[in-house]
Amino acid sequence: MAKDLVKVMWTEDALEERQTSQKCPLYLLVLDDAFASGVFTVLPHKYLGRPGNHIGDEIYHVVSGTLWVFFPDFNTIKRVEAGQTLYMPARTTHAPLNDTDEDTVVLTCSAPINPDADIHYSMDLAEIIQFMSENKGQRDEEPRVFSVDGLLSKGGSSKSPSEERFVMGKTMTAGAFFIPPKQEFSEAVERDTPTIWYAMKGELTIEEGGGGTKVVPQGKAAYVAPGASVKVRNDGSEELLVYYASSVK
């Protein structure tokens, strides 16, 4: 049986559900040695769990709510609103938290993954604070926050498909593309690295090289595996805006 190279997924399709020490749910969508993606919810007035310090770049896309991320390396906090993307270079210690009364939902992608990723969720709040105080260091590149607002307004005025890459890190890249109603990108794309596409607005149609078609509703994601030859289009009557994250070969 041929391997399915394009999969539409969200939390209900997760490979595994985990819970952090702060009782926050994490759903693993993709997990292998080279690439990982998942969805986590930071509960109101909670940290996600133990601070992370990954061997590769990590990228957060806030699906709903507001996320704060503390970076002890830089003694700073970044605020990330719904629809915005946060890029964290490899080895940047970070602690996500939610200081609002509503849940914050985040799509996360990283590459490559930590071999000891399972211990990431084991600390209680006192241990989190101690870890951050003891693990301050120096990093050459600060985390950055990106927004798709400019792409949406630019695409809407031009009425033609457009793309903007926010991040080109050492191990991860991320950006977004816009497609007006009843249009498509002109050429098929052959993926040579793992990729996540998340439909922020509208419905994404993915035409596979073998003749199949997958539809990604608004608020869901598609995993496109290496080796997939795909073409993307907007069959709907409203504008399509898609966030993407991919590992760098």
| 11-146 shares its CATH topology with 147-247 | yes
Are 120 and 51 contacting, i.e. CB atoms less than 8 angstroms apart?
no
Q: Is the pLDDT of residue 14 over 60?
A: yes
Distance (Å, rounded) from C-alpha 170 to C-alpha 80?
22
Domain boundaries, the chain: 11-146, 147-247
% of residues, the chain, pLDDT over 70 = 84
Residue-wise pLDDT tens digits, 78-122: 999 999 999 999 888 899 999 999 999 999 999 986 544 444 444
Residue-wise pLDDT tens digits, 45-58: 999 987 777 788 99
Structural class in CATH, domain 147-247: mainly beta
Distance (Å, rounded) from C-alpha 190 to C-alpha 151?
24
CATH number of 11-146: 2.60.120.10
| Candidate from 23-27, 36-40, 183-187, 224-228 with smallest mean pLDDT | 183-187
Q: Which residues contact 1 (CB under 8 A, 6 or more apart)?
A: none
Rg from Cα positions in the chain: 18
User: Which strands sit side by side in the sheet containing 162-168, from one edge to the other?
Assistant: 6-9, 221-224, 195-201, 240-247, 172-179, 162-168
Q: Residue 72 — pLDDT band, cuts 50, 70, 90? A: confident
Are 121 and 100 contacting, i.e. CB atoms less than 8 angstroms apart?
no
Is pTM, for the whole model, over 0.85?
A: yes
| Candidate from 23-27, 72-76, 92-96 with smallest mean pLDDT | 72-76
Question: Average pLDDT of the chain?
Answer: 85
Q: Is the pLDDT of residue 186 over 80?
A: no
Residue-wise pLDDT tens digits, 130-161: 655 565 544 557 889 998 876 665 555 557 89
% of residues, the chain, pLDDT over 90 = 57
Secondary structure class of 138 (helix, strand, coil): coil
Burial bucket for residue 98 (CB in 10 Å: 0-12, 13-18, 19+): buried
- CA distances to 47, 126, 150, 177, 199 from 123, in Å: 11, 8, 39, 38, 33
